[in-house]
């Protein structure tokens, strides 16, 4: 991808801390979120949700509700019989349950009424008769109990998906090792908790066109789901994603409430709005999967890894969602930080009667990253190695191929480690496993962890060979520039990134540009704000569109001025001769010249990731155009009387490639640290695991998340090592910096009080229990003791690149020979 800019090579916009193009609107109350939309004659929708965790629907009686004055329409599942789901392999949801409910909160019926109060009253007049079924509430139960099945598909019983992959001969890796260590971990599920509750408004106009405004991170996928379920041509449907009041992955699925209001709008001919209550947002969920993990690693005396076997057991909740991808993600990125020459991964995702899990910031990778980094810390202690050095000495090399065929480009993790080690004064704080001669007082501790994340999934969610991102530019004769893209701003600044990049290439001010995004009628497809793909993919598409426009401008201006094309530069709203800067025209004049010569000026750009070198089944999850890297050191205080862990400071270095806007990058790093801190210290989605599987606390007060009082000090370093695949060299920052935080804190807790908390979150109860074990001379640890027995499928075997593999799986026959 070309990165041509102004002739002199200086960047005028990229790398500068401009405010976001929509920042002021957000600070004066002008930004219209989905629930801020009010249309004439608009109806309000409420959805009746199951209070049974697992039951057959025997009868739905809506007669009383229908008679309530002000009720305009009532909808049940039989009117929306077509299933949908985000992944083509898990089309297992219905907008309203038809014959069965699978968790408390599963929607059964919907009402449209003249106001919210009437809708609420009507909803409560609907009577549903259920026949209760036994529930499945844990991973262990799902693996043991085959009947009743929550779904009629999957890998048997209540197992949704089993995967088994082996890259190289892992047993040989263990034979080569000086030490083999095995550990088990559990990472509790947690949720996104965006401040904005999901909302959607649908309008069906008299000419037969449907419009849906929704707080969604993936308008394109919602568009596809609506066309499928409503059996309407997609060309008659327009989806407009409103600015998301926080997403974090929680608004990435097509949701039942979006389909329901669309259907109600068609039925009534009136606009219909739904806004979820906070409790309903907890039931929508799609958050972090609870994952039980076992990791076995062989290492040489110097800490070099010879082989690794990783197992994950995921509690998927009641539906597929992104779960198959999440399962693969718990095994995909173990290989991209430290050299792992031989690697085996087994993963199983179970269905349980709980709100469905899906992608949350870091999608499927914070859990294994936490396990891996704590496991590595334990190995370092066993080998009496410095936890910094065991990481620093065995880094994956830039421009290399991992055992599981992930193509590494730029790799700045070494610099990241150096920065946080120096910044935190690690050498004067870490005691080198020598508890009696500590450098920090007992109760104070320091820990380190590293991580990596993808910059966009290499493959789209549904198979196609079209670009993943498209950008359209329109230049008008008054000098106006409009950039159109299907991407959706969820607060990360994706609208601004488009403006900065186009402004850079065209030599204008980013605030001169109009940005139109996330509207399926007006903007070319971008797949959505997930997998940290947006800056890299829309950025590259925007560069291509802008360079094509730039070319038209310089041809026309060169002709007018009589100077060679290559002499022309675009900067400061002018197109001019670099050798003779006063010879030039204004940007607006340049557009007039170009339009006079070529006709109306519009250009497009698009981006497709490079093909992945992995060709085996399952190779679709993990490949990315680039990988970001992060390293973090945490300093904690642990009160051994109360078990309370206070994180005092986090040092974090993030390899961003190149900051398109450093201030926004800093914001993403700090926000990621915050979210990682919440996950390690307090956030958890937990349920009463008796037959009822009731969510313990679907409210913001009791679902604990960090306030200003818990948030720690953050010291951030941005490492710029431009990646050839990134726009101007940029990589992702929205998700990666969350990853090292939980294990860095866990390792610091161990340093502080000598107990291992191998279960996230690290609550005071767990710390106290482990301290008690320690006092009794037992294993000073809190965490799972074992993993369930699973009959894993024969692994799909792939020779590693080092073994001369070609990225394809070996024929099964050869495996056994």
Partner 1 sequence: MTDKARIKFNLNGEPAEVAFAPHKTLLEVLREDLGLTGTKHGCELGECGTCTILVDGRAVLSCLMLGLDAEGHDVKTVEGMADGAELHPLQDTFANLGAAQCGYCSPGFLLVAEELLKKNPRPTRDEIKEALSGNLCRCTGYIKIYEAVELAAARMRGEEMQLPEEAVYGLK
Nearest residue (CB) to partner 1, 38 versus 598: 38
Nearest residue (CB) to partner 1, 408 versus 681: 681
- Under the binding rule (CB under 8 A), the answer on residue 700 touching partner 1 is yes
- Under the binding rule (CB under 8 A), the answer on residue 534 touching partner 1 is no
Pick one of 4, 32, 78, 514: the residue that binds partner 1 (CB under 8 A).
32
Q: Which region among 53-61, 462-470, 620-628, 670-678 touches partner 1 (by CB under 8 A)?
A: 670-678
- Under the binding rule (CB under 8 A), the answer on residue 30 touching partner 1 is yes
- Under the binding rule (CB under 8 A), the answer on residue 191 touching partner 1 is no
Whether the CB-CB separation of 316 and 225 falls below 8 Å is answered with no
Residue corresponding to tokens 């469905």: 356
Secondary structure element (H or E) that encloses residue 272, with its range = strand 272-275
Secondary structure element (H or E) that encloses residue 811, with its range = none
- Under the binding rule (CB under 8 A), the answer on residue 785 touching partner 1 is no
In whole angstroms, how close is the CB of 330 to partner 1 at the nearest point? 24
d(CA 658, CA 232): 43
Q: For the residues of 404-450, what is the DSSP string, one character each?
A: T--EE----HHHHHHHHHHHTTGGGT--TT-GGG-SSPTTEEEEEEE
In whole angstroms, how close is the CB of 452 to partner 1 at the nearest point? 19
Whether the CB-CB separation of 583 and 575 falls below 8 Å is answered with no
- Under the binding rule (CB under 8 A), the answer on residue 648 touching partner 1 is no
Q: Which of 49, 54, 56 has its CA nearest to residue 126?
A: 49
Burial 139-178 (b: 16+ CB within 10 A, else e): bebbbeeeeebbeeebeebbbbbbbbbbbbbbeebbebbe
d(CA 586, CA 563): 16
Pick one of 13, 379, 546, 714: the residue that binds partner 1 (CB under 8 A).
714
- Under the binding rule (CB under 8 A), the answer on residue 36 touching partner 1 is yes
Nearest residue (CB) to partner 1, 708 versus 786: 708
**How would you class 314 by CB atoms within 10 Å of its CB: exposed for 0-12, middle for 13-18, buried for 19 or more?**
buried
Q: Which region among 436-444, 469-477, 505-513, 713-721 touches partner 1 (by CB under 8 A)?
A: 713-721
Site for partner 1 in 7-26 (CB under 8 A): 17, 19-20, 22-26
Compute the CA torsion angle 101, 254, 315, 331 (nearest 10 deg): 160
User: Going edge to edge, which strands form the sheet with 127-132?
Assistant: 100-101, 55-61, 127-132
DSSP code of residue 468? S
Q: Which of 548, 532, 547, 539 has its CA nearest to residue 627?
A: 532
Residue partners of 29: CB distance under 8 A and separation at least 6:
none
Nearest residue (CB) to partner 1, 701 versus 785: 701
Site for partner 1 in 410-469 (CB under 8 A): 419, 423
**How would you class 812 by CB atoms within 10 Å of its CB: exposed for 0-12, middle for 13-18, buried for 19 or more?**
exposed
Residue partners of 77: CB distance under 8 A and separation at least 6:
94, 95, 96, 97, 98, 108, 109
In whole angstroms, how close is the CB of 782 to partner 1 at the nearest point? 27
In whole angstroms, how close is the CB of 203 to partner 1 at the nearest point? 18
d(CA 737, CA 27): 26
DSSP code of residue 814? H
- Under the binding rule (CB under 8 A), the answer on residue 117 touching partner 1 is yes
Nearest residue (CB) to partner 1, 28 versus 785: 28
In whole angstroms, how close is the CB of 12 to partner 1 at the nearest point? 17
* SS3 of 648-679: EEEEEEEECCCCCCHHHHHHHHHHHHHHHHHH
Q: Which region among 28-36, 141-149, 328-336, 443-451 touches partner 1 (by CB under 8 A)?
A: 28-36
- Under the binding rule (CB under 8 A), the answer on residue 193 touching partner 1 is yes
Query: Which SS3 state, helix, strand or coil, does residue 107 take?
Result: strand
Q: Which region among 90-98, 304-312, 430-438, 673-681 touches partner 1 (by CB under 8 A)?
A: 673-681
Pick one of 38, 153, 511, 598: the residue that binds partner 1 (CB under 8 A).
38
Nearest residue (CB) to partner 1, 44 versus 343: 44
- Under the binding rule (CB under 8 A), the answer on residue 670 touching partner 1 is yes
- Under the binding rule (CB under 8 A), the answer on residue 41 touching partner 1 is no
Nearest residue (CB) to partner 1, 36 versus 572: 36
Show the site string, 285-314: x = touches partner 1 by CB under 8 A, - = not: ------------------------------
Q: Which region among 27-35, 94-102, 398-406, 762-770 touches partner 1 (by CB under 8 A)?
A: 27-35
- Under the binding rule (CB under 8 A), the answer on residue 709 touching partner 1 is yes
Whether the CB-CB separation of 188 and 213 falls below 8 Å is answered with no
Nearest residue (CB) to partner 1, 671 versus 780: 671
- Under the binding rule (CB under 8 A), the answer on residue 673 touching partner 1 is yes
Pick one of 169, 583, 705, 788: the residue that binds partner 1 (CB under 8 A).
705
In whole angstroms, how close is the CB of 653 to partner 1 at the nearest point? 8
Q: Which region among 339-347, 350-358, 566-574, 661-669 touches partner 1 (by CB under 8 A)?
A: 661-669
Pick one of 46, 100, 160, 192: the residue that binds partner 1 (CB under 8 A).
192
Whether the CB-CB separation of 216 and 250 falls below 8 Å is answered with no
Residue corresponding to tokens 């994952």: 291
In whole angstroms, how close is the CB of 113 to partner 1 at the nearest point? 11
Pick one of 246, 443, 613, 783: the residue that binds partner 1 (CB under 8 A).
246
d(CA 112, CA 204): 14
Q: How far is CA 417 from CA 59, 388, 752, in A?
A: 61, 8, 21
- Under the binding rule (CB under 8 A), the answer on residue 562 touching partner 1 is no
d(CA 798, CA 150): 33
Q: Which region among 78-86, 240-248, 340-348, 771-779 touches partner 1 (by CB under 8 A)?
A: 240-248
Nearest residue (CB) to partner 1, 19 versus 236: 19
| Helical residues (DSSP H) of 432-527, grouped into ranges | 494-506
d(CA 528, CA 247): 11
- Under the binding rule (CB under 8 A), the answer on residue 491 touching partner 1 is yes
Pick one of 186, 310, 329, 674: the residue that binds partner 1 (CB under 8 A).
674
Pick one of 103, 248, 430, 782: the residue that binds partner 1 (CB under 8 A).
248
d(CA 188, CA 145): 22
Nearest residue (CB) to partner 1, 590 versus 666: 666
Residue corresponding to tokens 């951030």: 716
Interface size with partner 1, residues (CB under 8 A): 68
In whole angstroms, how close is the CB of 325 to partner 1 at the nearest point? 23
Q: Kindly tell me the sign of the dihedral angle through the C-alpha atoms of 257, 262, 265, 271.
A: positive
- Under the binding rule (CB under 8 A), the answer on residue 696 touching partner 1 is no
d(CA 535, CA 454): 12
Nearest residue (CB) to partner 1, 465 versus 708: 708
Show the site string, 493-532: x = touches partner 1 by CB under 8 A, - = not: x---------------------------------------
Q: Which of 367, 287, 315 has its CA nearest to residue 158?
A: 315
- Under the binding rule (CB under 8 A), the answer on residue 729 touching partner 1 is no
Query: Which SS3 state, helix, strand or coil, does residue 156 take?
Result: coil
In whole angstroms, how close is the CB of 356 to partner 1 at the nearest point? 20
Site for partner 1 in 52-111 (CB under 8 A): 70
- Under the binding rule (CB under 8 A), the answer on residue 27 touching partner 1 is yes
Q: Which positions lie near partner 1, rule CB under 8 A?
A: 17, 19-20, 22-33, 35-36, 38, 70, 115, 117-118, 192-197, 243-248, 277-278, 419, 423, 490-493, 662-667, 669-675, 699-701, 705, 707-709, 711, 714-718
């Amino acid at each position: 991808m070309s990165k041509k800019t102004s002739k002199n090579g200086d960047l005028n916009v990229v790398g500068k801390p401009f405010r976001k193009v929509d920042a002021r609107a957000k600070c004066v109350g002008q930004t219209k979120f989905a629930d801020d939309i009010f249309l004439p004659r608009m109806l309000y929708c409420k959805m009746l949700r199951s209070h049974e965790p697992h039951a057959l629907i025997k009868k739905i009686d809506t007669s009383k509700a229908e008679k309530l004055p002000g009720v305009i329409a009532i909808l049940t599942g039989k009117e929306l019989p077509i299933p949908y789901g985000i992944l083509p392999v898990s089309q297992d949801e219905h907008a309203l349950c038809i014959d069965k409910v699978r968790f408390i909160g599963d929607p059964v019926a919907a009402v449209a009424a003249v106001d919210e109060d009437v809708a609420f009253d009507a909803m409560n007049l609907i009577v549903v008769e259920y026949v209760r079924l036994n529930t499945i509430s844990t991973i262990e139960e799902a693996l043991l109990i085959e009947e009743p099945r929550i779904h009629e598909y999957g890998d048997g019983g209540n197992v949704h998906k089993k995967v088994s992959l082996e890259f190289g001969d892992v047993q040989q890796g263990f034979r080569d090792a000086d030490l083999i260590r095995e550990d088990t971990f559990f990472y509790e599920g947690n949720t996104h908790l965006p401040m904005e509750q999901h909302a959607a408004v649908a309008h069906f106009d008299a000419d037969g066109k449907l419009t849906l405004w929704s707080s969604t991170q993936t308008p394109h996928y919602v568009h596809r789901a609506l066309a499928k379920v409503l059996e309407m041509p997609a060309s008659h449907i327009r989806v407009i994603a409103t600015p998301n009041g926080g997403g974090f992955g929680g608004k990435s699925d097509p949701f039942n409430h979006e389909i329901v209001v669309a259907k109600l709008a068609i039925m009534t001919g009136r606009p219909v709005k739904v806004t979820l209550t906070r409790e309903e947002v907890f039931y929508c969920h799609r958050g972090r999967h609870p994952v039980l993990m076992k990791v076995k690693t062989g290492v040489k005396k110097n800490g070099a890894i010879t082989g690794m076997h990783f197992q994950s057991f995921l509690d998927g909740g009641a539906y597929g969602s992104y779960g198959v991808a999440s399962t693969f993600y718990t095994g995909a990125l173990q290989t991209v930080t430290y050299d792992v020459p031989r690697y085996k991964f087994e993963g199983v995702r179970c269905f349980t009667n709980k709100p469905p899990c899906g992608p949350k910031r870091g999608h499927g990778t914070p859990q294994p990253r936490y396990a891996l980094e704590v496991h590595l810390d334990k190995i370092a202690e066993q080998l009496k190695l410095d936890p910094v050095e065991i990481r620093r000495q065995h880094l994956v090399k830039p421009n290399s191929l991992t055992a599981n065929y992930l193509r590494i480009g730029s790799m700045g993790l070494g610099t990241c480690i150096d920065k946080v080690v120096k910044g935190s004064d690690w050498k004067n704080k870490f005691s080198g496993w020598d508890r009696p001669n500590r450098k920090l007082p007992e109760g104070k501790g320091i820990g380190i962890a590293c991580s990596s994340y993808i910059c966009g999934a290499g493959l789209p969610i549904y198979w196609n060979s079209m670009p993943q991102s498209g950008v359209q530019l329109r230049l008008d004769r008054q000098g106006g520039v409009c950039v159109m893209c299907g991407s959706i701003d969820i607060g990360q600044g994706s609208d601004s990134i488009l403006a900065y990049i186009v402004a850079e290439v065209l030599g204008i001010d980013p605030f001169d540009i109009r940005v139109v995004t996330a509207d399926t009628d007006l903007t070319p497809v971008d797949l959505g704000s997930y997998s940290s793909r947006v800056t890299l993919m829309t950025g590259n598409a925007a560069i291509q569109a802008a360079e094509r426009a730039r070319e038209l401008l310089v041809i026309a201006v060169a002709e007018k001025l009589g100077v060679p094309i290559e002499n022309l530069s675009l900067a400061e709203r002018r197109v001019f001769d670099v050798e003779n800067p006063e010879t030039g025209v204004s940007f607006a004049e340049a557009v007039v010249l170009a339009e006079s010569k070529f006709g109306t000026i519009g250009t497009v750009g698009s981006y497709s990731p490079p093909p992945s070198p992995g060709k085996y089944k399952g190779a679709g999850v993990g490949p990315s155009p680039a990988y970001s890297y992060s390293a973090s050191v945490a300093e904690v205080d642990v009160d051994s009387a109360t078990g309370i862990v206070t994180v005092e400071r986090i040092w974090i270095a993030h390899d961003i490639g190149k900051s398109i806007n450093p201030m926004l990058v800093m914001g993403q790093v700090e926000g990621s640290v915050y979210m990682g801190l919440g996950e390690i210290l307090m956030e958890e989605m937990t349920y009463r695991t008796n037959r009822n599987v009731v969510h313990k606390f679907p409210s913001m007060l009791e679902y604990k998340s960090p306030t200003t009082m818990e948030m720690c000090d953050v010291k951030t370093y941005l490492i710029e090592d431009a990646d050839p695949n990134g726009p101007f060299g940029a990589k992702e920052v929205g998700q990666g910096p969350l990853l090292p935080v939980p294990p860095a804190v866990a390792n610091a807790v161990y340093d502080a009080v000598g107990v291992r908390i191998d279960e996230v979150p690290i609550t005071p109860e767990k710390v106290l229990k482990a301290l008690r074990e320690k006092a009794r001379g037992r294993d000073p640890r809190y965490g799972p003791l074992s993993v369930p027995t699973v009959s894993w499928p024969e692994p799909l075997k792939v020779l590693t690149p080092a073994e001369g593999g070609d990225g394809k799986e070996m024929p099964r026959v050869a495996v056994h020979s």
